[in-house]
Amino acid sequence: QNGLAEAVPLHSLRFNKGLKNTMPRSASCTLLAEKLQPTALYLSALPVPSPTAATASMFILFSFLILFSRLSGAITENNVKAMFIFGDSLVDAGNNDFLETTVKCNYFPYGVDFSSGSTGRCTNGRTSADILGQLLGLPHLLPVFYDPHTRGSSILAGVNYASGGAGILDSTDQSVSLVSSSFQGADGRGGWKEGQWGAMS
C-alpha cells in the first residue's frame, strides 16, 4: 500500500546478512531500492552507531554539561582570579610578534575587528581564550609573555604564553624558528626551567 513490498523491514539494508555477505553494498541497495520508497531507502542507509560510540558520545555530552555548569557558577561567583594560557596559533595573542619567526599574524586582514588593527592574534578579533577570560571577569585582553611591558602587576590576572606554531616536541617548531616546549616553560620532566620567569620580574 505504501510502496513497500511485503515483509521488507527498513533495517534490512543494514542487517540483511544474505545480501551483505554475498554482494557489495551498492548491489544490495539496488535490489532493495525496487522494494522500498526512496525516503525509506535513504533513512535506512544511515549508519547505526555502536553502543560503545553512543556511550562515549553521552559521556562527552555530560562532561561538557558539567563543565558548563561549573563555569557558569564560577562566573556568577567571580572566583577566578587569574588565567594562564598555553597553546598555539588558536590562542596566540601576539607572542610571535616578539620572536624571530615566520609565523606572524600582525598584518591585514588579521585584527580587522579591533579598532587598533592587528594585534598578533591569528583571527579577525578576539581568540577563544580572550572571550573566556572576559566571561570569567578578567581584564579584557591578557598580556603576552614576550611583550616587554608584561611585568609587575600586569601579570596578576594572568599571562598568555601561546605561540603560533608551538608544539609539545622541540622538533614541532624547527621549520618556523620557534622554541617550543622551552617557550612553554617545560623542561624534560614537566617542571619549569630555571630563569623562565626572569622576563616578567
What gap in Å lies between CA 11 and CA 20, rounded to an integer?
12
| Alpha-carbon dihedral 162, 164, 169, 175, rounded to 10 degrees | -150
- Would you say 44 and 14 are in contact if contact means Cβ atoms under 8 Å apart? yes
Torsion over CA: 50, 64, 66, 167 (sign): positive
Q: Which residues contact 96 (CB under 8 A, 6 or more apart)?
A: 103, 104, 105, 120, 163, 164, 165, 178
What gap in Å lies between CA 160 and CA 83, rounded to an integer?
8
Q: Tell me 40's DSSP state.
A: H
Active site residues: 89
Secondary structure element (H or E) that encloses residue 22, with its range = helix 17-22
